[in-house]
Structure formats: C-alpha cells, structure tokens
C-alpha cells in the first residue's frame, strides 16, 4: 500500500497537530488527569490513522479488458437506471452511480482506454452524494471517453463532505484503462453514463473496486 500524492499536505498538517495536541496534553493535563490525557492520545491517533488510510492506494490486480468498462471508483452501486442525458450527450443513457463513503479508497480510475473527448469542471452545491439532484446540481467534473466510435461519460461529484475534486485529464489526451484519472476528498459519488446497448454486470448494492470490477461490457 502507498499513500496518494493528494494526501501529502493533509497528512503532514494532521501529524503536526497530533504532535502539538499531545505535547500540550502531556505537559498540562497528564499529571492531574492521566486518563483524560490517554483518551486525547487515543482519539487523535485514531483520527490520524483514519486520515492516512483515506489516502491509501492498495496494491491490486487491475482489470485490462478490451470490451469491458471497469468501475472508476470504489463504493456501493446506488443507481442503475435509464436517464435523459443533461450534459455532452443528447440521447438517453444508462446511468450507473457509485456512492463512495469516507472509508472507501478515493482514487478514481479510467473505466476504458481511449481518447478524452471532453473534460469540464462545474461549480455547484454540496448536497449529500446520494441526493437525486446531486448529479446535476453539485460541484462536479465530467469526462467523456471515446473508444472505437463509442462514448461514455463519467462524473466525479462532490458530496456534503467532499469539497475538493481533482482531475488530471484534458480533452484530446489518450488514456489507458484503470490508470488514475482523479481523486475526490472525502464522501462523494461517481456517475457513469453508458450506451443503452451496454450489458450491465452489476446490481444495486454491489460493492465494486475501482479499476478492478467490470460494471458493464460493450
């Protein structure tokens, strides 16, 4: 397991705060209230470990398959439905939405290899990630991938806690399946808009792994 570059600054700041808080606790509290001092140590250590784990990149056997569309994120499948496209596409699409809790790995990966046909950041609200309107009203970054004349759209969507979306792709760029395409800090959601003839390989409640689980084929 390694730590993602997006976490370096946050972890450094958290480590300094951990040290300062516990030094103050040791010198000011531990003599008269040792139990309280231990509680502060355990609580702050737990928060630091949680923060470090949030930015983890676990070692995985990533899926590279010509006709497969892999999950762009870890999480839970919360939506599989036919929708009218509201961005980039003008036709109807199958939407697969993956909700990412703060406990999930938050690296986002390319679902397919091909060309980045569209890359657009949108300012917006911070509704809870499972809210039906979060796909269209929340802060988000949308990426369209083109492969062999077929296209899909992926939306990185901020949630009530996620206040920073990082995306590394630009229009015209050639990308490889399962490589990193971005990162979302804290709880969030990723929508994938697929052609109607795509064969869905997951169901509501499934817990896909980003870059590993095949969510559809075409």
- Active site positions, annotated: 188
Q: Which residues contact 100 (CB under 8 A, 6 or more apart)?
A: 73, 74, 75, 106, 129, 184, 187, 188, 189, 190
How far apart, in whole angstroms, are the C-alpha atoms of residue 199 and residue 94? Answer: 10
How far apart, in whole angstroms, are the C-alpha atoms of residue 168 and residue 61? Answer: 22
Q: What share of the chain is helix, strand, coil (3-state, %, to 5)?
A: 20, 35, 40
């Amino acid at each position: 397991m390694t730590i993602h570059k997006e976490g370096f600054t946050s972890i450094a700041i958290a480590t300094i705060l951990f040290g300062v808080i516990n030094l103050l606790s040791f010198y000011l509290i531990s003599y008269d209230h040792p139990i309280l001092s231990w509680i502060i140590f355990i609580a702050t250590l737990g928060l630091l470990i949680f923060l470090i784990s949030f930015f983890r990149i676990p070692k995985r056997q990533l899926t590279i398959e010509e006709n497969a569309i892999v999950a762009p994120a870890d999480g839970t499948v919360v939506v599989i439905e036919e929708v009218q496209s509201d961005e980039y596409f003008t036709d109807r699409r199958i939407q697969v939405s993956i909700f990412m809790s703060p406990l999930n790995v938050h690296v986002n990966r390319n679902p397919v290899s091909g060309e980045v046909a569209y890359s657009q950041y949108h300012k917006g609200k911070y509704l809870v990630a499972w809210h039906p309107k979060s796909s269209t009203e929340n802060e988000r970054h949308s990426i369209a991938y083109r492969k062999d004349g077929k296209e899909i759209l992926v939306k990185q969507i901020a949630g009530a806690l996620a206040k920073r979306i990082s995306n590394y792709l630009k229009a015209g760029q050639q990308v490889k399946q399962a490589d990193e395409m971005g990162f979302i800090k804290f709880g969030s959601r990723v929508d994938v808009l697929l052609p109607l003839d795509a064969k869905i390989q997951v169901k509501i409640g499934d817990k896909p792994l980003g870059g590993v689980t095949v969510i559809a084929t075409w």
